[in-house]
Amino acid sequence: MQLLNVMKKKIWLSSMAALVLAALFLVVAAAPTPQPTPPVITDDQVNAIARQMYCPVCENTPLDVCPTQACAEWRELIRDELAQGWSEQQIKQYFVQRFGDRVLATPPATGLNWLVYVIPPIIFLTGAFLLYRAFQSLRKPATQPVAGGEPQPASDDPYIERIEEELRKQ
């Protein structure tokens, strides 16, 4: 009889342990899974992209420093798009589709925009070449040597010729 009571206690304890474990399993399984928190987007990240674009409303004002309400909303739009995982290029493309190429600080090298990249270096190189030629012409002597060995004055002015003769005598 005692053996039967001991067996009943063991079965009862085992059943209770199984129920507690099952309840624990249900509580853990039913617990809400933590949602991934969206990444925190800093003002520096937003301004790094906004700095590369101009305000579509204001003339020649970078988007990162424009004080208008529209620009503040556009900066918030950039922040939201970054939080959604958009790349910098995708954000720029979005603004170009809405407002055109004029929003980009650096226009794409397509169409006539490629002239912006070609003409300044050509002008610089041409100017450097002209300066080089000008300095070379300044270094040439003012008199041309003649076959006789005496230099000929470069000027036909008799006064200058006389001064040069006096200087040669001394």
- Cβ(53)–Cβ(65) below 8 Å: no
**What is the reported pLDDT for 155?**
65
The answer to whether residues 54 and 104 touch, using CB atoms and an 8 Å cutoff, is: yes
Q: Same domain for 85 and 64?
A: yes
Q: Are residues 49 and 93 in the same domain?
A: yes
How many domains is the chain partitioned into structurally? Answer: 2
Pick from 91, 46, 89: nearest CA to 65: 46
Query: What count of Cα atoms within 13 Å lies in the side-chain half-sphere of residue 101?
Result: 8
Which residues does 66 contact at the CB level (< 8 Å), separation at least 6?
55, 57, 58
Q: Which two structure tokens, joined as six digits, stand for 134?
A: 């000008």
The answer to whether residue 19 is domain-embedded is no
Q: Is the dihedral of CA 66, 72, 73, 77 positive or negative?
A: positive
Q: Are residues 113 and 124 in the same domain?
A: yes
Residue 167 lies in a domain: no
2 within domain boundaries: no
Per the CB < 8 A criterion, the answer to whether 63 and 54 are in contact is yes
Domain that holds residue 77: 43-106
The tens-digit pLDDT sequence of the chain (170 residues) is: 676 677 777 787 788 788 887 777 777 777 677 666 667 788 888 888 889 888 877 778 888 888 888 888 989 999 999 988 889 999 999 989 988 888 888 877 777 777 877 889 999 999 999 999 988 888 876 555 555 555 555 567 888 888 888 888 87
In terms of domains, do 89 and 128 share one? no
Site of tokens 């790094």: 48
Instruction: Single out the residue in 84, 106, 128 at which a domain terminates.
Output: 106
Residue 18 lies in a domain: no
Q: What CATH number did the domain enclosing 91 receive?
A: 1.10.8.640
**Which helix H or strand E contains 145, and what residues bound it?**
strand 144-145
